[in-house]
Amino acid sequence: MTEPQPLKTNHNIRIVNLTTGASVLCVFGEVREEDNVVGYRMVYPYTLSLGDPNDDGTVPIQYTRFCVFSPVEEHRISGEHIISVVFPENSIVDNFVKRLEEIGISKEQIFFEEATDGDNSEPAEAAE
């Protein structure tokens, strides 16, 4: 069995779980006025859903534009409509990045260099 790859976290791609029950994949950020967060923005949002199981037992993830009635790709929402915001699995990130590249967004615009504390050593104890 192959060891799972570490979760990619050097980006602002998130799955936003809304009070409506929707799971939205997007580039996520805060809307600020002065020093206050007044809302959140979802850029290039896609609603995620599960497709019909394949013959091999895998279940495909389907991507649907969040708001098919508008060409606007940035949606602002209040925190009252958000249940949680999480990092997506690496394969979802990879698929989303391909979609963003198709519309002209480069990997350099999506990913940023992760900050490190300068210590590249392994931890003394590993969690099991």
The mean pLDDT of the chain is 88
Q: Residue range 20-30: average pLDDT?
A: 96
Quote the percentage of the chain above a pLDDT of 90. Answer: 74
Question: In b/e form, how buried is each residue of 77-97, taking b as 16+ CB within 10 angstroms?
Answer: beeeebeeeeebeeebbebbb
Calpha distance 89→15 (Å, rounded): 10
Architecture label for domain 13-92: Roll (2.30)
Could you read off the pLDDT of 83-124 as tens digits, one per residue?
999 999 999 999 999 999 999 999 999 998 876 655 555 544
Strand segments (E) across 51-117: 61-65, 74-77, 82-86
Q: Residue range 8-22: average pLDDT?
A: 96
Report residue 70's pLDDT band, with 50, 70 and 90 as the boundaries.
confident
Q: Is the pLDDT of residue 7 over 80?
A: yes
Q: Is the pLDDT of residue 18 over 90?
A: yes
Look up residue 79 and give its DSSP letter. Answer: G
- Domain spans in the chain, listed from the N-terminal domain onward: 13-92
Report residue 127's pLDDT band, with 50, 70 and 90 as the boundaries.
very low
Task: Give me the phi and psi of 26, to 5 degrees please.
Answer: -165, 170
The whole-model pTM stands at 0.82
